[in-house]
Structure 1
Amino acid sequence: MAEYILSIDIGTQGCKAAVFDREMKRKGTYFVPLALVSPQPGMVWQDPRGMYQACLEAARGAAENSKVPPAEIAAIGIDGQMAGIMGTDEEGEAVTPYDSWLDTRCSTYAEDMRRRYGKRITEITGAPVSFTHGPKILWLKHEQPQLYQKVYKFVVPSAYVAGRITGLRGDEQYFDYTHIQYSGFGDNLKKTWSEELLEVFQADEGKMARIISPFDVVGRTGREFAAATGLPSGIPVAAGCGDTAASVYGTGRMEKGMLLDCAGTASVLCGAVDSYKPDTEYDTITLMRSPDEDIWLPMAYINGGGLGLRWLRDELSGSPHATYEELEREAGKAEAGSGGIFFIPHFSGRVLPCHPKLSGCFAGLRWNHTRGAMYRSIMEGIAYEYRHYMRVLHELYPEGRFDRVYTMGGGAGSHLFNQIKADVLGVKVMPCKEVDTALEGSAMIAARAVGISTEQHKETADEEKGYIYPREENNKVYEKLAQDYLRLLEKIEEFCEGK
């Protein structure tokens, strides 16, 4: 009996695939980079066809590296970027670029939605209005009407790739419920499209794909997939979900009161709770359904937070570029607070709460500052944002513990970054053994979809390394600096908006 699972993670910077056995042990992985096109400020898109081809290449590479006989692959799971959207035709082919979550061209429509109906949108969808599906769809409708008319369904990357792999057509195309909070027009409690929101904004319900569970089998692999990957046709494909939802699910630790730090291209802080409480006061927290429906995942994120570290390495560390290890060693020599440097990490506007005109900056620079101190200040700026998210979480869920953070993603490998987060947040931090738990989450979802149990998979945190605890002296320093950061942020917002 076939018991291996192939999972595919469609990230911003590339597609990664892995083959797992039923105990969630990796047998082979493969990564294919993706191009991110940004011809001018505020415009960021990706080619859906390139995305699909990268997934095929990654699937083939992972399968070959695993040495698992192709006939032993029992199911395929897929996750992907969440807050962007693309349009497809009746054949399931993309007719628009993928409008990335980093793209802010829709900001005028986001502001209009927020002004006209903001609180009600948050109540129904679970999320404050930002640079997500609803404003992006309205932007396409009004700014590129001819292209909009070609769209039969709006879908997210995971659904697009699954649709291409299985040959979904017309109304078979779908939208899984972990994306509803970003939709702008979905009812998160009912898991349906909201007639109220569709009517208010004159959005075409016919262009909205059916909403289904991540655990639904949407089809089976076809000949094109088989020819491209060397795997057989007829493999069941699960609907899958968003990458953050998959990352949380993949930890095997869906505990109420936990916090999860996804330290990747975006910097995401996510909790786990058992009730739906939309953030209508602070416009900061987004409520996402977990794959398991009895748990809600309140979260907020920085639009490209982790990209700030790469930006400094690529643009400010000289030629040849310094390594991340070198920069971290230098940053470790700087004191808590980076000697008075503050970094605003919002290069593409602030997402939550939404301030589209805000830009990134360093403040407080002096002649004695080093690139190590600047690098450290980027980490601290991200942690200050997390501290704000945590404060709002405690307001919404005063009964929540939120006393520990499990961290994953590329940034989870940095001990200094983890220590800074522990010091700023005042809670213990534990890195996960696998930094890309989205692949595990998608594999677990696909396994469950076809009846393969992975219940024994309950570990992901690196118990051998243990928790990183906050240092009291640094926590006291950061308590004041976090307040200073928010005051600076307010002034920078006013400057960027021309006030």
Structure 2
Amino acid sequence: MQKKYLIGVDLGTSSTKAALYQIDGKLISDASVEVPLYYPKPGVVDQENEDFYTSAAQVVRRCIEPSAVDPRSIAAIAFDSQMAGIGLIDEDFKPVARFDSWLDMRCQPYIERMGKEAGDRITQLTGCPPTCDHGPKMLWWKNEQPDIYQRTAKFVVPGPYVAGRLAGLKAEQAFIDHTYIHFSGFSDGRNGVWSDELCDQFELDKSKLPKIIDPCVVIGEVLERPAREFGLAPGTLIAAGAGDTAANALGAGIVHPGMLFDVAGTAAVLAGCTNKFVADIKNRALITMRSVIPGLWNPLAYIGGGGIALRWFRDQFYNRAHGVSLPITDEDLYTQMISLVETIAPGSEGLFFSPHLGGRICPSSPDMRGAWLGVSWSHTQAHFTRAILESIAYEYAYYLKILKESQPELVLVEARVVGGGARSEVWNQIKADILNVPYRRLKGNEFGAWGAAMIAGKAAGLINDLASHAEHTAILNGSPFNPSKENHALYTPLIEKYIRLEETLNQFYRS
């Protein structure tokens, strides 16, 4: 039977999504299901590893069963997943503890320790400054839960865990693909290997780390029992997959140096595309992820609550009367709010907003909080709304300033934006004006699953040139939002003011 279909599965923090595609990118069917997060005590956030597996089985079945697609015609499957949390398995590939979520802050003392003892060296080698990711978490388990650490054969992330279960792998066959390893705290990211130097310095048992492989490697075939659970044909190929940000970038066609990728969601993420590894030792703001495409890198940074800031303002200020929240109706309040923004001149008449209501992520400053600066009698809700939108773009401009300083020869060609915020024409134009880069929207909304599916297709030999395939299947939606020279000239000094504002706030909250 001709193999002409691919499946991509996105294992997110709060939901699992799957999509069934033709090789040319045509979506046949998709499905999603929520995945629970557990909060057993303050500061602790974890998940059940089994939930990743069962939710993946559920959504894959939901894709295949109503589609009339013969499972035997599905060539391969691949998973992308959340990136900064870590799981622990024993010799038989069974979990020895709940999955340690990226939202869990038990490891904070070990973030501080790694930063103090070897922060610059970790940044130089991994491409990522010490943060809440695998490294500090593994040290927490080693020092705070030594019995569980001893029973741990390998540390794994969700995508490879589910793929390994499908293929019946043992612990010695556990893997991680190279798009995750900047978050490991113990890698040599430039060379795609584990760092003996860092493992020795922090006395981490290197044998507990999985092998590092390319995303497009076939790691096995679907066994009989998992095939029944997923509705797949036994023998279906399984590719290694990638981290969710890497898969999304691939799905959006971010395959050439100078392209930008803006994920305008709950977190506001801006990723670049370069052909050089960047280690931001000076600022510890940029995180450099290896792309799925060989020879490319994605320097990125993000605002933890970028998208939530606008919702917070809507709920706490815009949609209130006499201190009482009004009902949320079917009417799109965001559209109302942003329509008012168009009446306000660029720069919000001197009003600035700092969007770090829960602490700054890049660079790490967990004690920082949000702030308004420059409030005057003339400012209205429209000014405050516009200042929120501008603050995200100012923060992005700070990231790009660092990127340009490290790679002055890099020419930025366009930004592609996805997520809920991409729907706002006003916000896209503000970003284009501040960053001085054309903004483009894309058709579709499930770029991670398509990125994973393309990886599966490459692994199965159905896609020859992955970069070209990604480029041609990422369909642009509408005309570009071209930057206004006049508005960019107005914004240029305001960007520098915003950067100084953040430096001042950082010092204030650290004191």
Distance 1:444 1:351, change over 3 A: same
What is the aligned partner in structure 1 of residue 335 from structure 2? 328
Distance 1:390 1:15, change over 3 A: same
- Per-residue CA deviation, residues 365-411 of structure 1 (Å, 9 max, x unaligned), is 66776655544433322212111100001001101001311112332
- Per-residue CA deviation, residues 9-38 of structure 1 (Å, 9 max, x unaligned), is 112231111001111111111111223345
Counterparts of 1:212 and 1:323, CA distance in 2:
48
- Per-residue CA deviation, residues 154-210 of structure 1 (Å, 9 max, x unaligned), is 111211221222222211111111111111001112221111000011111121111
Structure 2, unmatched stretches of 5+, are 320-324
Distance 1:206 1:461, change over 3 A: closer
- Tell me which amino acid in the other structure corresponds to 2:362: L
What is the aligned partner in structure 2 of residue 27 from structure 1? 28
Distance 1:94 1:322, change over 3 A: farther
- Per-residue CA deviation, residues 67-91 of structure 1 (Å, 9 max, x unaligned), is 3222211100110111221212222
Counterparts of 2:224 and 2:308, CA distance in 1:
38
Q: SS state of the match for residue 263, structure 2?
A: strand
- Deviates further, 84-93 or 40-49: 40-49
Say whether the 8 Å CA contact 2:60–2:231 is kept in structure 1: no
Say whether the 8 Å CA contact 1:29–1:66 is kept in structure 2: no
Counterparts of 2:380 and 2:78, CA distance in 1:
45
Distance 1:58 1:265, change over 3 A: farther
Distance 1:309 1:435, change over 3 A: farther
Say whether the 8 Å CA contact 1:82–1:179 is kept in structure 2: yes
Counterparts of 1:304 and 1:223, CA distance in 2:
43
Q: SS state of the match for residue 180, structure 2?
A: helix
Structure 1, unmatched stretches of 5+, are none
Counterparts of 1:229 and 1:313, CA distance in 2:
41
What is the aligned partner in structure 2 of residue 436 from structure 1? 446
Say whether the 8 Å CA contact 1:92–1:168 is kept in structure 2: yes
Say whether the 8 Å CA contact 2:283–2:363 is kept in structure 1: yes
Counterparts of 1:10 and 1:324, CA distance in 2:
32
- Per-residue CA deviation, residues 76-117 of structure 1 (Å, 9 max, x unaligned), is 011011122121222223333333333333232122212211
Q: SS state of the match for residue 117, structure 1?
A: helix
- Per-residue CA deviation, residues 452-478 of structure 1 (Å, 9 max, x unaligned), is 026563335554512101233433443
Aligned equivalent of 1:488, options 496, 501, 507: 501
- Deviates further, 480-489 or 18-27: 480-489
From the CA coordinates, give the structure whose radius of gyration is larger. Answer: 2
Say whether the 8 Å CA contact 1:178–1:242 is kept in structure 2: yes
Distance 1:349 1:414, change over 3 A: same
Equivalent residue pairs, number: 498
Distance 1:145 1:323, change over 3 A: farther
Counterparts of 1:168 and 1:324, CA distance in 2:
51
The aligned runs of 1:125-204 (5 Å cut-off) are: 125-204=126-205
Distance 1:144 1:315, change over 3 A: farther
Distance 1:310 1:95, change over 3 A: farther
Say whether the 8 Å CA contact 1:289–1:295 is kept in structure 2: yes
Distance 1:245 1:57, change over 3 A: same
What is the aligned partner in structure 2 of residue 300 from structure 1? 301
Distance 1:384 1:9, change over 3 A: same
Distance 1:13 1:68, change over 3 A: same
Q: Does 1:406 align with 2:406?
A: no
Counterparts of 2:267 and 2:453, CA distance in 1:
22
Distance 1:405 1:231, change over 3 A: same
Counterparts of 1:314 and 1:59, CA distance in 2:
36
- Deviates further, 335-344 or 162-171: 335-344
The percent of aligned pairs where both chains have the same amino acid is 40
Distance 1:444 1:321, change over 3 A: same
Counterparts of 1:4 and 1:254, CA distance in 2:
23
CA RMSD of aligned residues (A): 2.5
